[in-house]
């Protein structure tokens, strides 16, 4: 791959969907565009229903110069959403209602903005964006999900009935087949609003000037090859691909629990602690939380567990509440009686929120029991920490299977009747922390850590690809930004 100049003066606007999982990688990309590629970035923050974690992250005093966060004024959603509105539908409606404010601000920036970056649920902008501003889509999940999503419109036309009722796995062009039980939640029922929103947005992604992928070659080699070479993706005019990952948080705002967590880890042997948390939005049921507690106790391993108040109806109940504290240690009251006392000599239980990046990079952390959201998966692998995959919602089952079968950096828990039993938890935890299989997963995780470091370093594949994207923005700007959404930037695009 030819070296691309790492310096531009492009001005880029960034509009993420609401939710910390969408905001975090786009903020990290924005930081790198400013600090490594001399871009100017205006980051537009949807404040309506924004979580405490999102607000803390975006209003950190440590953001670099030339990265400016603009808060979009709150909008009233009370007439279009309620407590039963699902996460993706709520997210899309929120973003749609913010479009007038976004368009006003973009109009004010239009004299200097040379490109716009959205995520995959921001394709509303294609209907209003000035034709002189190219739009790049940042795909916040895996390349494997992108491949499936670009294939979804064809699947929607070809298949009658529900995809989960198909008698065989879904054969995504050029990729490993997806077991129907691993399909993401949003496509498991084609009659619901979430499916309609997902199909709507992902069918419009090819209108982008380019697709930015938070992955790299060694993490998803088969899928990246398929996306760039398979005839199907050429036929649908897949935009140029920019694999620029892994983009993860390098720092994070200090949390109330951080001093306690790090001080406790400092006292533990190297690689001995299992870190347990289910991301920014994940919540267990009461029964499942109890079984997890018993499984950890039976395993006898050291652990650091971030506990939330359980929810028996919704595994993503904390999605819009990330970073909020549970008052009066309410979460701890749902654990088995005496659990905290019985495990006090080898376990630390903290409520609601913990400094995930700091914990994963700590020498005492030996493995990560995770919901396998894509951000958490990348954070774990980039720090050389293997995973126990415990998917909860969205595309996490696909990620869990990838972690186990493709990347070889983890093991996936198995449930019976929808509940992972204490015996299964004890088995996988003991295997990971003490077994030969766990040693192999740790070795593979260390390999991917080294690979990630290489591609992100100056001259590495992700660094060069990111520079190519920045130069593509500058190229468009120097030609009066004459490109329309959906047209290619062939002179600067980097194929996977």
- Which residues belong to the active site? 22, 119
Please tell me the distance from the alpha carbon of residue 413 to that of residue 391, in angstroms, as a whole number. 9
SS3 annotation, the chain: CCCCCCCCCCEEEEECCCCHHHHHHHHHHHHHHHHCCCCEEEEEEECCCCCHHHHHHHCCCCCCCCEEEEEECCCCCCCCCCCCCCHHHHHHHHHHHCHHHHHHHHHHHCCCCCEEEEECCCHHHHHCCCCCCCEEEEECCCHHHHHHHHHHHHHHHHCCCCHHHCCCCECCCCCCCECHHHCCHHHCCCCCHHHHHHHHHHHHHHHCCEEEECCCCCCCHHHHHHHHHCHHHHHCCCCCEEECCCCCCCCCCCCCCHHHHHHHHHCCCCCCEEEECCCCCCCCCHHHHHHHHHHHHHHCCEEEEEECCCCCCCCCCCHHHCCCCCHHHHHHHHCCCCHHHHCCCCEEEEECCCCHHHHHCCCCEEEEEECCCHHHHHHHHHCCCCEEECCCCCCHHHHHHHHHHHCCCEEECCCECCECCHHHHHHHHHHHHHCHHHHHHHHHHHHHHHHHHHHHCCCCHHHHHHHHHHHHHHHHHHCCCCCCCCCCCCCCCCCC
* Number of Cβ within a 10 Å radius of residue 227: 27
CA nearest 274: which of 369, 411, 375, 377?
369
Please tell me the distance from the alpha carbon of residue 442 to that of residue 224, in angstroms, as a whole number. 24
């Amino acid at each position: 791959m030819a070296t691309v100049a790492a310096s531009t003066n492009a001005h880029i606007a960034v509009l993420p969907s609401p939710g910390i999982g969408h905001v975090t990688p786009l903020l990290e990309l924005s930081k790198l565009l400013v600090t490594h590629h001399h871009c100017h970035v205006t980051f537009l923050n949807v404040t309506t229903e924004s979580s405490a974690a999102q607000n803390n992250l975006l209003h950190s005093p440590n953001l670099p110069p030339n990265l400016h966060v603009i808060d979009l004024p709150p909008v009233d959603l009370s007439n279009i959403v309620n407590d039963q509105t699902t996460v993706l539908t709520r997210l899309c409606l929120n973003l749609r209602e913010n479009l007038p404010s976004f368009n006003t601000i973009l109009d004010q920036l239009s004299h200097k903005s040379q490109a716009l970056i959205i995520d995959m649920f921001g394709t509303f902008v294609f209907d209003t964006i000035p034709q002189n501003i190219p739009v790049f889509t940042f795909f916040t999940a895996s390349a494997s999900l992108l491949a499936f999503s670009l294939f979804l419109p064809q699947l929607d036309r070809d298949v009658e009935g529900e995809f989960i009722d198909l008698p065989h796995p879904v054969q995504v062009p050029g990729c490993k087949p997806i077991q129907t039980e691993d399909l993401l939640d949003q496509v498991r029922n084609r009659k619901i609003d979430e499916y309609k929103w997902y199909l709507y947005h992902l069918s419009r992604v090819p209108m982008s000037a380019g697709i930015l992928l938070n992955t790299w070659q060694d993490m998803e080699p088969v899928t990246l090859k398929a996306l760039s070479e398979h005839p199907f993706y050429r036929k649908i005019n897949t935009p140029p691909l920019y694999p620029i990952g892994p983009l993860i948080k390098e720092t994070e705002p200090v949390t109330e629990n951080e001093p306690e967590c790090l001080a406790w880890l400092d006292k533990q042997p190297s690689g001995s602690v299992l870190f347990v948390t289910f991301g920014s939005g994940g919540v267990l049921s009461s029964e499942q939380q109890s079984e997890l507690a018993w499984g950890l106790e039976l395993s006898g391993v050291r652990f650091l567990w971030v506990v939330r108040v359980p929810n028996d109806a919704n595994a993503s109940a904390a999605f819009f509440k990330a970073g909020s504290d549970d008052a009066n240690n309410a979460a701890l009251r749902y654990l088995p009686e005496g659990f905290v006392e019985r495990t006090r000599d080898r376990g630390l239980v903290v409520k609601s929120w913990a400094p995930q990046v700091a914990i994963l990079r700590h020498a005492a952390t030996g493995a990560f029991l995770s919901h396998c959201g894509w951000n958490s998966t990348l954070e774990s692998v980039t720090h050389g920490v293997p995973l126990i995959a415990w998917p909860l919602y969205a595309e996490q089952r696909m990620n869990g299977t990838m972690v186990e079968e493709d990347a070889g950096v983890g093991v996936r828990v198995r449930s019976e009747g929808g509940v992972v039993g204490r015996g299964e938890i004890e088995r996988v935890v003991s295997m990971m922390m003490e077994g030969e299989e766990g040693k192999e997963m740790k070795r593979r995780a260390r390999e991917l850590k080294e690979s990630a470091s290489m591609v992100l370093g100056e001259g590495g594949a992700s660094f060069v690809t990111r520079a190519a994207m920045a130069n593509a923005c500058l190229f468009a700007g120097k030609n009066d930004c004459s490109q329309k959404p959906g047209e290619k930037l062939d002179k600067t695009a980097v194929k996977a």
